[in-house]
Amino acid sequence: MAADAPLRLSDTSACVDAVIERVGKNITLGLPLGLGKPVRFVNALYQRAKDDPTLNLHIVTALSLLAPAGSSSLEKRFLGPFTERLYGRIPELAYARDVSANRLPDNVRVSEFFFKAGSYLNNTDQQRNYVCTNYTHAVRDLMALGVNVVGQMVAPGADHGLPGQVSLSSNPDLTLDLLPLMRAREAEGTPVALLAELNGNMPFMAQHAAVDEARFDIVLDDPGTDYPLFSAPQMAVSPEEHLIGFYASALLKDGGTLQVGIGSLGAALVHSAILRHQHNERWQTVFRDLNVAERFPVVADVGGTEPFSEGLYGCSEMMVDGFYYLLEAGVLTREVYDHAALQELINRGVIGSEVSLDTLDVLYREKLIDSPLRARDVRWLRRLGVLRGDVEFKGGRLTVGEQSLDADLGHEESREAIQALALGDRLTGGIVMHGGFYVGPEAFYQSLRELPQQQRERICMTSVNYINHLYDHEFGNQRLKAAQRVHGRFINSTMMYTLSGAAVSDGLDDGRVVSGVGGQYNFVAMAHELPGARSILTLRSTRQSGGDTVSNIVFSYGHCTIPRHLRDIVITEYGIADLRGQPDEQVYLRLIRIADSRFQQALLDQAKKAGKVARDFRLPPEWGNNAPEAVRKAMTVAGQDDLFPPFPFGRDFTDEELTLGKALKSLKAATATPRGKLVTLWRALREKDESGRYASLLERMGLAEPRGLKAKLEQRLVIHGLRQTDTQPDTGNQES
């Protein structure tokens, strides 16, 4: 069993020794997904396994993050300086790099239940070792795999006046549920080791994430080797994604609940939500220009168009950086409380945020407190802010300083005294954000570190089961969560969507895994269980594949993540398809309506052939404008060409890198087919930068003075890509 004080070590090798001493050389190591991996300890343990073939190591985790390296020579030239700038001081996860390079030793195995999207499509070892599970079942499956060691990076409490405490910070998601199960396993006779690696750069998140240090067996404490946190750089938001985000922002209900996933589609939604709140007239101009109200009446039924006067509450397994921007913008302001009956009273408007004697009267009438007040009532009312923090309960009376007050709410004199001396001003202890884990750009981490304590207390990082399930034993029941999550909007992205209403989000029909189910299924299912909630799946209408444009709305597909019976709302850049409760013919037609017009007729023909749409149905003329030109036009409505910037929340790429990135992306698309590759190479051979127009960009790529045939060809390819994208102004030899 864990001692009162954990073993405190400053050396990673000593930590590995201590773990082996506790559990032996057959180690199944459970690690948090994403940011919370204790890199120093994990690298030391992995190196020990490489050095000692008798040590059997099985790592079970998700999202093992690596700095981008690039696959082609040009990508490596482009990413090298960028990677050094962002990740140069961050130790790399050695096992993850070896997984990527297919060079794990025979005595090491890595199983993940969620991949970075597309990262292991061609890695057969990882495809074989993938564990398919809902996020909420991950702890169960970790235990089934025999996890006997858990390691996590945590924030030290001593830096925040909380010696003896640590914060699970970025990853209480699984750990809060895993720790007690590990102790139960230990009590049954199986040795375990729980290790915490302190890192002062980790934001200290309180609430459920703050735990006693003694819950761990070993603490790695070496402030001199603290390293920066792995950041996910801001990615560009395309015009198509901005339009998807705009439509989604119109489905948000003021006073409601928001869950949103990672990526540029989530950033687009957040940007449009802030636009709706802070620049409503400009938002309304786009709304009217797109004729949203007439074309998609679901907005009037479930969404809104006005600023968020009541505000939103965030409840999302991943607290993306967008939630911080919503908090900063005054959108994420609706507070929820951990008492179901109280929350229901607040929802009905019976109790407001301002405290008065009426507040006490309502609580008494609803039998939530007694009169005269009792000690437990006073404790709760004080925590809630209904009574002042200095009110105490002694001998059946309320004491405030030297004053002693009768606790009977039925006596007029007592009421007057309580009002004058004991009442608080506003309700306190409300939460505006429940999150399970976070990963984001460095600026996001810095913002969390700098949040005033009062603001940080309004964010509760907690168990993923609290967030993704309507019922769990540890933190609350279905009634509480239903009361908190009014008007829930659960917004997630998908790769493809079938005309019958099934979503393809995590894998391909050949069995390969793209990412993972994560929590998407839970949120979609929850939207069908909570009154007034809606599931919203977003996707771009098309993608590039092998040099061709193909539709992401398809007739059918051989893999499914979300089954058709859970179909709800789907959004592309061409609009909103409200599918809930609709007969199949309407589902097929509403999805065809928001497909790219180049594919609508073929989809309709397939639907007719299957007998799902009447034979005499013809595509209405107004459906035929679903084209990229319409997207570009929508981006500049009423001359507002600055309304939807590609980087609404800042960027990590320099101007030069953005220019080069666009050129390289163009080259990659142009060379996607054998014929395209030959044509591009032939054209590039004739390219030269005689005016020096691209000198600084070529310098950035290390191709200003190429040596050797390969480098000279790469130089000409870059010049060709730059000319094709035509984004570089003519600045001669000057820096961009």
Q: CA-CA-CA-CA torsion for 446, 449, 455, 461, nearest 10 degrees?
A: 100
Question: What is the pLDDT at residue 547?
Answer: 82
Is residue 337 within 8 Å of 346, Cβ to Cβ? yes
Q: Could you read off the pLDDT of 416-467 as tens digits, one per residue?
A: 999 999 999 999 999 999 999 999 999 999 999 999 999 999 999 999 999 9
* pLDDT exceeds 50 at position 563: yes
Each residue's pLDDT tens digit, 361-388:
999 999 999 999 999 999 999 999 999 9
Taking phi over 0 as left and psi of -120 to 50 as alpha, with beta for the rest, 387 belongs to beta
Rounded to an integer, what distance in angstroms lies between the CA atom of residue 506 and that of residue 514?
A: 5
pLDDT > 60? residue 731: no
* pLDDT tens digit sequence for 648-695: 999 999 999 999 999 998 998 888 888 989 999 999 898 998 899 999
Give the tokens for residue 223: 């402030």
Query: What is the percentage of the chain residues whose pLDDT exceeds 70?
Result: 97
- 736 pLDDT exceeds 50? no
Query: Radius of gyration (Cα) for the chain, nearest Å?
Result: 28
Cα separation, 76 vs 396, whole angstroms: 73
pLDDT recorded at residue 406: 94
What is the band of 636 on the pLDDT scale with cuts at 50, 70, 90?
confident
Residue 732 has pLDDT above 60, yes or no: no
Side chain identity, residue 390: D
Mean pLDDT of 89-93: 95
pLDDT at residue 4, rounded to an integer = 76
Chain segment 260-271, per-residue pLDDT in tens: 988 899 999 999
Q: Could you give the angle at the alpha carbon of 386 between the alpha carbons of 384 and 390, nearest 5°? A: 90
Averaged over 586-604, what is the pLDDT? 98
Domains detected in the chain = 7-225 (3.40.1080.10), 239-335+433-631 (3.40.1080.20), 340-421 (no CATH), 655-725 (no CATH)
Q: How far apart are CA 505 and CA 715, in angstroms?
A: 38
Buried b (16+ CB within 10 A) or exposed e, 479-505: ebbbbbbbbbbbbbbbbbbbbbbbbbb
At 617, the pLDDT band (50, 70, 90 cuts) reads very high
Q: What is the pLDDT of residue 192?
A: 98
Tell whether the model's pLDDT for residue 727 goes beyond 90. Answer: no
Per-residue model confidence (pLDDT) at position 474: 61
pLDDT band at 729 (very low <50, low <70, confident <90, very high): very low
Q: Is the pLDDT of residue 735 over 70?
A: no
Q: What is the pLDDT of residues 453-462, one digit of tens each?
A: 999 999 999 9
Give the pLDDT of residue 375.
96
pLDDT digits (tens, 9 = 90+) for 488-538: 999 999 999 999 999 999 999 999 999 999 999 999 999 999 999 999 999
**What does residue 152 show for φ and ψ, rounded to 5 degrees?**
-150, 140
| DSSP for residue 621 | G
| Percent of the chain with pLDDT strictly greater than 90 | 89
Q: State the pLDDT at residue 598.
A: 97
Q: What is the mean pLDDT of residues 637-653?
A: 86
pLDDT tens column, 181-215: 999 999 999 999 999 999 999 999 999 999 999 99
What letters, b where the CB count within 10 A reaches 16 and e where it falls short, cover 101-122?
eeebbeebbbbbbbbbbebbee
Q: What is the pLDDT confidence band of residue 476, given thresholds at 50, 70 and 90? A: low
List, for residues 55-75, the tens digit of each pLDDT value. Answer: 999 999 999 999 998 888 999
Residue 690 has a pLDDT of 86
Would you place residue 177 in the very low, low, confident or very high pLDDT band (cuts 50, 70, 90)?
Answer: very high
